[in-house]
A and B are shown apart, each in its own frame.
Chain A
Amino acid sequence: MIEQVVFYLFASMLLLSASMVVVMKNPIHAALFLVLSFFSSAAIWLLLQAEFLAIALVLVYVGAVMVLFLFVVMMLDINLVTIREGFARYLPVGIIVALLMVTAMGLVVGSNYFMSENYMAVKEVSADHSNTRELGLTLYTEYLYQFEIAGAILLVAIIAAISLSMSKAKLTKSKNPGDQVFVKKKDRLRVIKMQAEKKE
C-alpha cells in the first residue's frame, strides 16, 4: 500500500515537473524543473529495486550534467521578446511536428509491447542482494566489447571537444604555475641606485 502511495506521489511529481520544463518561460526555472524530474524518476527506479541506476542518475545527471547546464544557461542573456516573435509564423509547422510525434508515441505506447500483462512483477530479492555487483558482472563479461567500444567513442569525443576549444587563437593569458614557483626576487626586481633629482 505504502509502495503505491510513494509510486503515485513520485510519478505525478515526475509528470508535473516534466511538463513544467516545457511550459516555463524562464530557462533557469525549466532547468531546475528538469532536476526535479530526474529526482522523481530516480525515486521510481528505487521502487523497482534498481538502486545503482537510481543513485547513478542522481550522481551523474543531477550532480554533474545539470550543474554545467545551469552554469551555461545562467551565463546566457536570453531575451524573451525575441523568442516569442516568430510564434505565429512557426505555429503551423509546430502543430504538424507535434501531431506527428503524438501519433508516433501513441503507436508505440498503444501497441502490444506496452500492455501491462507483458510485464512481470518486480522480482523480490533478499536485502543483501547487490544490484551493483550484478550489473558489473554482466557489463564486464557478456557485454565487454560493447562496453569497450562505448568507452573508446567517449574518449574520441573528449579529445575532439578539447581540440575544438583549443584550436582557437590563444585568447587567454594562462600562466604556468611551475615557472611562477621558481621565480626568484632577482628575476623580477631591479634596484637602481641613482642621484636625487632636483625639480626644475
Chain B
Amino acid sequence: MIEFLYQFISQNVLSPVATYLFPLQYQPQALYVLQTIVKILSIMVPVLLTVAYFTYAERKVIGFIQARIGPNRVGFFGFSLWGLGQPIADAVKLIVKEIVIPTGSNKTLFIIAPILSLAPSIAAWAVIPFDDTKVLADINAGLLYVLALTSLAVYGVIIAGWASNSKYAFLGAMRSAAQIVAYEIAMGFALVGVLIAAGSLNLGEIVTAQSGSFIHWFWLPLLPLFIVYFISGVAETNRAPFDVAEGESEIVAGFHVEYGGMAFSVFFMAEYANMILIAVLSAIMFCGGWLSPFQGIPGLEDLFSWVPPIFWLLAKTSFFMFLFLWFRATFPRYRYDQIMRLGWKVFIPITIVWLVVISALVVTNTPPWFVA
C-alpha cells in the first residue's frame, strides 16, 4: 500500500513538477531531490504525530497505573472520545503562548538550544530500516551514525542551561552533561557487542543477522548488553528515574525552567522523539526489527505470514515505548551519586566483560546464533 501510494505521488505529482520547473539537464537530479523530500516527510510526519499522541498515552497510562482516569475531556466535534483531542489542544495552547526571553540571557543560543535538541533525534530516523527494502539512507555505518546523533542531544540541554542565565537551569545542564557522558560510554560498548554479533554496522544487515526464530534475536546472546543499552537509553533521554536534569522537586524544571510557549514545547517534543528513537533502536538491534516473532515455528509462521513486516517493528517499538511510561510510574528518582555509580562502576564493567564473552561465542561459532 505504501509503495503504491509513493509510486502514485512520484509519477503524478513529482515528475510533472520536475519537468515544468527545471531545465532538461537537471531534471533527474531535481526529481531525485523531490522524491527524497517526500520520503523524509513520510517518515517525519508519522514520527511527530506519534510524539503528540505519545504524550497523551503517557498521561493515560500513568493515570491508569495510579488509579486515575487521565485527560478525558477534549475531543472532536462535541464528542469527548476519551480525550483524544488533548494533544492538539496542548499544541495550540503552546503555539499561541509568548516566548519569554530572560534578561541577561544569550538570545541566539537561547533560541538555538531547543532546535539543537530536537534535530538529532529526528535526523537519526534516516537510517532506520522499516522493512528489508524500506529505508531512507541505507548506509554502511548506520550504527555509528545513530550513536553519533544520539550523543548530540546533550548540546541542546547544555546550551539551554547556560544561555538562560539562571542558576536552576545551569545546575540542570551540568547534571545532564555529566550523566550523558557517563551513560554514552556504556551505550557505545553495548552497541559494539551488537556489531560483533552481527558482523556489520548496517542496521538492515543487523536485523537480517537475527533471522531464524525468536531465540535467534540478539536479546538472548546479548542479554546483559540489551539491559544495559535500554537503561542507558532511559538515562540518555533524561527520563524518570534518571530525570535529575529536570528534577522538579529540587531545581524546579532544570534546564528548561526559563522556556515557555513553543520553545518549551520543542524541548518537550525532543524528549518524546528521543524516547521513540531509543525504543525503535532497541527493537532493531536486540529484538529482530521487522522479523516476525513466529518465524521458525511450524503452523504459526504460515498463520501470520500475511502480516506486513513493518507491523512487527511497530509492535516491538510500542512495547519499549510503554516500558518508558511504566518506569516513570514505578520508580522513584535516583540520587545523583547513585546515577554516576551505576553508569561508571556497574554498567561499563558489565559491558566490557560481556564483550569478551560474545567475542568468544562468535569465534567458536556457537550455535544457534553464530553458525559459520
Q: Is the CB of A132 within 8 A of B181?
A: no
The 10 closest A-B pairs by CB, nearest first: A63-B151, A59-B148, A55-B144, A58-B148, A71-B177, A51-B141, A55-B148, A130-B140, A74-B162, A55-B141
CA distance A155 to B145 in the complex (A): 27
Q: Report how far A132 CA is from B144 CA in the complex, Å.
A: 10
Complex contacts, A32 vs chain B, CB 8 Å: 109, 159
Residues of A within 8 A of B159 (CB): 32
A131 close to chain B: CB less than 8 A: yes
Chain B residues, Cβ within 8 Å of A177: 337-338, 341
Instruction: Say yes or no for A52: interface residue by CB 8 A criterion.
Output: yes
Q: Judge if A43 is at the interface, Cβ distance under 8 Å.
A: no
Which residues of chain A have a CB within 8 Å of any CB of chain B? 2, 28, 32, 35, 51-52, 55-56, 58-59, 62-64, 67-68, 70-71, 74-75, 128-132, 174-175, 177
- A51-B338 contact, Cβ under 8 Å, with A63-B152, A67-B154, A67-B181: no
**Nearest residue, chain B, Cβ from A28:** B162
A27 to B1, CA, bound (A): 54
Q: Does B125 contact A (CB under 8 A)?
A: no
Question: Dominant SS at the B interface?
Answer: helix
Report whether A56 and B144 are in contact in the complex, using a CB–CB cutoff of 8 Å.
yes
Closest to B174 in A: A71
User: With contacts A59-B188, A74-B158 known, what are 11 further pairs, Cβ within 8 A?
Assistant: A51-B140, A59-B144, A59-B147, A59-B148, A62-B148, A63-B151, A67-B154, A67-B155, A67-B158, A70-B177, A132-B140
Smallest CB gap from B138: residue in A? A127
Kindly state the separation between the CA atoms of A68 and B141 in the bound complex, as whole angstroms.
25
Kindly report which residue of chain A lies nearest to residue B140, judged by CB atoms: A130
Q: Which residue of B lies closest to A73 (CB)?
A: B162
Chain B 157-182 interface 0/1 with A at a Cβ cutoff of 8 Å (1 = within): 01100100000001001100110110
Q: Which residue in chain A gives the minimum CB-CB distance to B151?
A: A63
Complex Cα distance A128/B184, Å?
28
Give the complex CA separation of A63 and B338 in angstroms. Answer: 23
Q: In the complex, what residues of B have CB within 8 A of residue A174's CB? A: 337
B29 in the interface (beta carbon within 8 A): yes
B115 CB to closest chain A CB (Å) equals: 14
Chain A residues with CB below 8 A from B109, complex form:
32
Q: Which residues of B contact A130 (CB under 8 A)?
A: 140, 200-201
B300 within 8 A of A: no
B149 (CB) vs chain A CBs: closest residue: A58
Whether B13 sits at the interface, judged by CB under 8 Å, is no
A101 to B128, CA, bound (A): 47
In the complex, whether B252 has a CB less than 8 A from a CB of chain A is no
| Chain A, Cβ-Cβ closest to B153 | A63
Q: Among the interface residues A32, A55, A75, A175, which one has the most CB atoms of the partner chain B within 10 A?
A: A55
Partner among B145, B154, B181, B188 whose Cβ is within 8 Å of the Cβ of A55: B145
How many whole Å from A85's CB to the nearest CB in chain B? Answer: 25
CA distance A175 to B173 in the complex (A): 24
- Minimum CB–CB distance for A126 against chain B, Å: 11
9 CB-based A-B contacts, threshold 8 Å:
A58-B152, A59-B147, A70-B162, A74-B162, A75-B174, A129-B140, A130-B201, A174-B337, A177-B341
Q: Which residues of A contact B174 (CB under 8 A)?
A: 71, 74-75
Smallest CB separation, B106 vs chain A (Å)? 8
Q: Cβ of B360 < 8 Å from any Cβ of A?
A: no
Indicate whether B363 reaches chain A with its CB closer than 8 angstroms.
no
Q: Is B37 on the interface with A (CB-CB < 8 A)?
A: no
